[in-house]
Amino acid sequence: MLLATAVMAMLVSVSIVSAQSTGSFTLPNPIKANNIQDLVFQITDIVLIIAIPISVLLLIYSGFLFVKARGNETEVTEAKKTFYYTIIGIAVLFGARFLSEIVRGTIEQLKG
pLDDT at 13: 58
pLDDT at 26: 79
Helices (H), the chain: 2-22, 36-69, 73-111
pLDDT at 36: 80
Q: Which residues contact 69 (CB under 8 A, 6 or more apart)?
A: 75, 76, 78, 79
Domain ranges of the chain: 31-111
The residue ranking higher by pLDDT, 1 or 107, is 107
Residue 28 region by backbone torsions, left for phi larger than 0, else alpha for psi between -120 and 50, else beta: beta
Q: Model confidence at 105, in pLDDT bands (50, 70, 90)?
A: confident
Nearest 5°: CA angle at 80, between 76 and 85?
150
Q: Is 91 a residue whose pLDDT tops 90?
A: yes
In tens, the pLDDT along 57-79 reads 999 999 999 999 998 999 999 99
C-alpha span between 66 and 60 (Å, rounded): 10
pTM reported for the whole predicted model? 0.65
In tens, the pLDDT along 3-61 reads 677 666 655 555 554 444 555 677 787 778 888 878 888 888 889 999 999 999 999 99
